[in-house]
Structure 1
């Protein structure tokens, strides 16, 4: 399997159109199509972008070795929790806050402001 064919496999596995796949990488659907069919080479910069944006295993994309995707955090929240050394309680607290409506978030913020003034 060529690098272009592996790019196509990744895109198909993610259920993305040429346009949507390229959009996140800052290139046109034509550029992605050209890579997939082999009329344009996969550059190192594009390889790194695909790996970063779609959590693709570099060795898989370049050499066809290993799993298609890296076993890395799957969400922004997971990445933040790793970066800031959050425990499971921290993660649930953040996740539940993010689920609140805008009004409920404001109520909570107002409560914390009132509380902090008393300390």
Structure 2
């Protein structure tokens, strides 16, 4: 399991330090380090937290069987990304999401036009 915990933490969509990953699942960063080195095994609660927080397939995390992540609808995927941004420290990302949420339909049309012209 040690390699799989590290794979989740370092996945490009997650990419957290041991400290940041630990905060998200309710343990200290050095505890995550111990899991990744195989010095300790995560409790059932930590396994559940990893799966819940990062949409990880529990069977894959425990055994390596199946896919790393559970399938998600587009809305669930969007909720997950927005949740990561709102829980993070990057103020630019937070402000960008808030600004986009305030756009009128006409402003969305202008933005679509600008982006299509950038292609």
TM-score in terms of structure 2 length: 0.62
The structure 1 segments of at least 4 consecutive aligned residues displaced by more than 6 Å after TM superposition are: 95-98
- Number of residue pairs matched? 84
Instruction: Please say if 1:100 is aligned against 2:102.
Output: yes
Contact 2:26/2:46 (8 A) holds in 1: no
- Structure 2 counterparts to residues 1-119 of structure 1, below 5 A: 3-13=1-11, 14-72=14-72, 73-76=76-79, 99-100=101-102
Stretches of structure 2 that go unaligned for 5 or more consecutive residues are 82-96, 105-119
Cα deviation for residue 16 of structure 1 reads 1.0
RMSD: 2.7
Q: Deviation digits for residues 87-114 of structure 1, max 9, x if unmatched?
A: xxxxxxxx9997118xx9xxxxxxxxxx
Conservation of the 8 A alpha-carbon contact between 1:56 and 1:68: yes
Q: Please, which runs of 5 or more residues in structure 1 have no aligned partner? A: 79-94, 105-119
